[in-house]
Amino acid sequence: MLISLPFVFFALLLCAWFLFTRHVPWPIPPQHQAPASWRVQGAGLTLRSLGVSGFELSDGTTTVLLDPTPTRPDPVALITGRIDADPALGEKWCPKADLILVNHTHFDHALDVGAIAQRTGALVVGSQNTVNLARSRGVPAEKTRVVHSGDSFTVGDFTVDVRLAHHTDLLVPQPMSGTVATDAGPMWFWNYALDETLAYRLTAHGTSIWFHPTSTYAAGELGGLRARTLIVGVTGEKQTRAKVDGLLGESQATRVLPTHFDNFFQPLDRGLALMPGLDLDGARQLFLDANPKLEWGVLDYGQTVTLPPDSP
């Protein structure tokens, strides 16, 4: 008996709805909570979690947003229509910004970037597609900048170094690749297209951070640049000891914050939930096996910590 395509589509939609919208609260267990030393106010940079791979980083004067994406379409919205940012959510979660750095232009990293930049006047930095998406949402050309691996620039007291990373291959190499037009309107989720995936090292006031929200790694991709703190993706490819050794060896990081671990198909106001099937305990153990003295911390939505200046 042949199964009709509409039936298959409906079955897949139902499965996706159940798997990704069933809310399973995840109170952060003690072994994953940020160390007490991160919660002490003092010299350094403040870091606030925005969910998915999003963060707000500040030195008290300049505010940098990393992949800010508070708008979270559910699986049905993704499959059945075009999606765009919710400006009210952007204003609630990201009230100010001077600089927005984008890893790549898939919707879960870049959906809100244009609306936030247009409201705050922030400079949008990323790949050509990231800039095209921002321009399509009304961000002036002079408030955008295309960067490539090896670039370095300064905004306020922040110095930003750019290196090429690699998106996880999901069934096909470099999924949902393509070009975003500068006159694009609301788009289907696959039209938020991938061109380049970028990692950023940020330094200010003696504190250094690598923003590497993908779970991939190739030898030498950090360009030998060091940073005490590593923000690293744990969804997509499974972390392996070889990748962990490479990331820690090249960056010399001794403080790790996993990112892209939460179920981003659910609204932020429902609270933290893990991406289905993710083994965050296993990822933590890999990093601690590589360096037992490593500091590891998972941040809840809206949680702010202080990253102190690097030790000599």
* Mean pLDDT (whole number) for 189-206: 97
Q: For residues 178 and 40, which has the higher predicted lDDT (pLDDT)?
A: 178
- Per-residue pLDDT tens over the stretch 219-250: 999 999 999 999 999 998 888 999 999 999 99
Q: Is residue 109 part of a domain?
A: yes
Structure pTM?
A: 0.94
Q: Is residue 12 part of a domain?
A: no
CATH code of 115's domain? 3.60.15.10
Q: Is residue 78 part of a domain?
A: yes
Domain coverage including residue 71: 38-172+193-307
The continuous run of DSSP H or E covering 12 comes out as: helix 5-21
Query: What span, in angstroms and rounded, lies between the C-alpha atoms of 103 and 241?
Result: 24
* Mean pLDDT (whole number) for 281-308: 97
Q: Is residue 127 part of a domain?
A: yes
Query: What span, in angstroms and rounded, lies between the C-alpha atoms of 215 and 233?
Result: 5
* Mean pLDDT (whole number) for 271-286: 94
Give how far Cα 139 sits from Cα of 69, 132, 145, 184, Å. Answer: 17, 9, 11, 13
Q: Is residue 5 part of a domain?
A: no
- Per-residue pLDDT tens over the stretch 175-189: 899 999 999 999 999
Q: Is residue 255 part of a domain?
A: yes
Domain count, the chain: 1
Q: Which residues contact 17 (CB under 8 A, 6 or more apart)?
A: 74, 75, 76
Q: Is residue 7 part of a domain?
A: no
